[in-house]
A and B are shown apart, each in its own frame.
Chain A
Amino acid sequence: MKVKNWTKQVVILPAVTLVAGLSLFVGCASDGSSPITLGSIGEVVGGQWGAGMKGTQALINSETMGEKDENPIGESVGVAVTAQYGLADNAQLQKYVNLVGLTVVTGSPRDGKNWSFGVVNSAEINAFSGPNGYVMITRGAIEQMKDESELAGVLAHEIAHVCLQHGLNAVKNSQRGKALGEFAAAADAERGQLFKAAADVSVDAITKTGYDQPSEFAADNAGIDYVIEAGYDPHGLVNFLKRIEPKAKAGGGLSTHPGIDQRITKLEAKIAGKGNVGGATLAARFATWTKAK
């Protein structure tokens, strides 16, 4: 084992763990005021990538390609979303969401790894998680919340998508993902081309089909474990979903996303299975931080 000088490295990326893709926490819960839709996010992220990126490192196979490219794909998702929405112009709110997110992370198996949280300037009720720990929530979602446990619950759902590698699984299970594996196995394949393909596959797999219902339920399920482990009241997510349910139904949504009714039912069963434990709700702190400018 030796220490490498990074200046001599050939496009080796510091991706941390496998997570790929873009997830929608409440993709069917738009209030219609968003300037960007799920379809447009796919278009944004899945377009043509630069042909000028020519890595010289031969990529090994589809598995390791996914690992290497997870971080730039995640960053690109983050760039696309934040460039479209912009960040909410509220430094205190940005800090608060990071503090809460990093706290929820302690209840996850991915504690100590890369995470970044941001509030995007949209009235839509939504949240996103990109590869390698990039989590974004809309200003509109936070405006619907009453306490910190609700924020923790929503962030935990997105954190769970990252931890459970739902995005990468969606890519690998797609037909294009299989084709990509063949391409990636070719000797001397150019990394830029592979990255472009990986990004396109990732976005297509998620934006055209969405996460399947088991993945959404799994994210809810794991998210509850994370918030309980982090000391928050797990009922926060349920309370939030019940509050936004009318708007979600009015806004329609993706058939691939489970209905909020089902999610609430399953979440309540999960929490009951945990003995209906409580935890911190921190309504006063939430109010203080979210009202601060």
Chain B
Amino acid sequence: MTRKATAILMTCVLGAGATLVLAEELFVKDYAIEIREGRGSTYPVVGIAEKGSHLTVLERKGKFLKVQAEGLVGWVNGGSMSDKKPANSIQDVKNPATADVSTGAAVRGLDPLTAEYGKNKGYSTAAFDQMVNNTKAIKPAEWEAFTKEGKVGPDKP
């Protein structure tokens, strides 16, 4: 094998290796995780990946991974991912945009079981709904300004 051929082969091998790294796939090890628009709980949920789903890693930033699956792109907590497929996998990725409102609301809406519970107990769920909506109403930019002002969270010294 000539030097040139060896170099080409090495390039191919290294290139393939680089491709493999970029195309790293990890499995969701938690029951289900939220895929968000950004890195953190303040960002909107763009999808749900269930246990056993394999997500393609596009980028790493600290404890967060930018992932892609089924046309969804977003960020997940890397601690919820594993390089081994977990037992009792469910293996689906759900896109709330395609979901029916009544069931798709389970992305963050009140679970039917919870609603039934409240009904049976005679409890209004309004206060709890308001609490959840209060959190949802916080815009990422607003929270980022808050942490920057206080030099806390991602803006700590």
- Cβ of B143: which chain A residues have Cβ within 8 Å of it? 99, 102-103
- Cβ of A279: which chain B residues have Cβ within 8 Å of it? 152, 156
Q: A2-B92, A3-B93 are in contact. Are A113 and B146 (CB under 8 A)?
A: no
Contacting chain A: which of B1-9, B10-18, B30-38?
B30-38
Contact A6 B31 (CB under 8 A): no
Most buried by A among B93, B99, B121: B121
Contacting chain B: which of A10-18, A174-182, A216-224?
A10-18
Contact B42 A102 (CB under 8 A): yes
- 18 extra interchain contacts, Cβ-Cβ under 8 A, other than A95-B134, A113-B41? A3-B98, A14-B48, A14-B106, A16-B30, A49-B120, A78-B131, A82-B127, A83-B123, A87-B131, A94-B131, A99-B142, A109-B79, A112-B63, A113-B34, A134-B131, A230-B153, A231-B150, A280-B151
Shortest Cβ distance from residue B152 to the other chain A in the assembled complex, whole angstroms: 4
Chain B residues with a Cβ under 8 A of chain A:
30-34, 36, 39-42, 48, 50-51, 53-54, 63-64, 69-71, 75-77, 79-80, 88, 90-96, 98-100, 102-104, 106-108, 110-114, 116-121, 123-125, 127-128, 130-132, 134-135, 137-138, 142-143, 146-147, 149-157
Closest to B114 in A: A75
- Cβ of B39: which chain A residues have Cβ within 8 Å of it? 112
- Cβ of A15: which chain B residues have Cβ within 8 Å of it? 31-32
Q: A109-B79, A112-B77, A231-B153 are in contact. Are A1 and B54 (CB under 8 A)?
A: yes
Q: B interface, by DSSP: helix, strand, loop or mixed?
A: mixed
Contact A98 B88 (CB under 8 A): no
- Cβ of B155: which chain A residues have Cβ within 8 Å of it? 231
A113-144: CB near B (< 8 Å → 1, else 0) gives: 11111100000000000000010100000000
Per the bound structure, the CA–CA distance linking A94 and B98 in Å amounts to: 32
Q: Would you call A239 an interface residue if the criterion is a C-beta within 8 Å of the partner chain's C-beta atoms?
A: no
Contact A98 B135 (CB under 8 A): yes
Contact B117 A17 (CB under 8 A): no
Q: A78-B128, A102-B143, A103-B146 are in contact. Are A17 and B31 (CB under 8 A)?
A: yes
